[in-house]
Amino acid sequence: MSIGAEAASHSDDRSSDDRANAPETSAPQASAPQDWVGNLRGLVSTLGEMAISYEGLPRRLDSTLDATEKTIGDINEIFRNLCDKGSLLLGGNTWQAFKDEEDNYALFYEAIWLALDTYREDLEAYKIVGPGVRPQPGRSDFPQVDQNAELFAKRRWKCIKALRDLYRYLSGMLDSVPE
């Protein structure tokens, strides 16, 4: 299984409650491949807004992790559809732009999921998956986490940086794709 396919299947690992509570995005429900490109542009824009928001208030990521994962999963689904099915349905240049970037995209996608998985484990260790709650050193059942709040903050920033990097990569790639 390729990295992208493995990560794509991973994005659906959330519980049904998590998926039900996540805000709706323009998931790849579009019928025409050109709509896929338009939806991808919209989701990438949303990803950029998330990254800016999290850079301004990093704790915001804590309460919006499910929505962030959903957006990234939706981006991956569209990107994979464009790479796998686009040759038959898109113009040659548009499809080729996605196909040429497939390996590079997989590297960014893997990096974001590695960062998000690690950070989610930290959140669960701190027992703070929920809005408005902050890490309380010394109050969890995980002394090794309590002793390293700085590591927690570094991992949060690693997620934010990976989000920003994925956004910049996809934005640059989409700038070269015909409208």
Q: Where are the domains of the chain?
A: 3-12+30-175
Torsion of CA 29, 8, 159, 50, to 10 degrees: 0
Place of tokens 């903050």: 153
Supply 103's token pair: 């390996």
Give mean pLDDT, residues 88-106: 81
pLDDT tens-digit readout, 122-172: 888 775 444 444 555 545 555 554 556 778 888 999 999 999 999 999 999
* 106: confidence class by pLDDT, cuts 50, 70, 90: very high
Supply 25's token pair: 């995005």
Question: Comparing 87 with 6, which gets the higher pLDDT?
Answer: 87
Give the dihedral sign, CA 18/23/28/29. Answer: positive
CA distance 157 to 166: 14
Q: Is 35 helix (H, G, I), strand (E, B) or coil?
A: helix
Q: Where does 22-148 have alpha helices with state H? A: 33-56, 60-63, 65-89, 92-100, 102-126, 143-146
Predicted local confidence at residue 93, as pLDDT: 74
Supply 50's token pair: 């998330």
Predicted local confidence at residue 76, as pLDDT: 94
Lowest mean pLDDT among 13-17, 56-60, 87-91, 173-177: 13-17
pLDDT tens-digit readout, 3-59: 344 444 444 444 444 434 444 444 444 456 568 888 999 999 999 999 999 999 999
Give the dihedral sign, CA 141/61/154/16. Answer: positive
Question: Comparing 108 with 27, which gets the higher pLDDT?
Answer: 108
Predicted local confidence at residue 6, as pLDDT: 42
Q: Which of the 8 DSSP states describes residue 25?
A: -
Place of tokens 């893997």: 110
Return the top range by mean pLDDT from 14-23, 69-78, 95-104, 129-138.
69-78
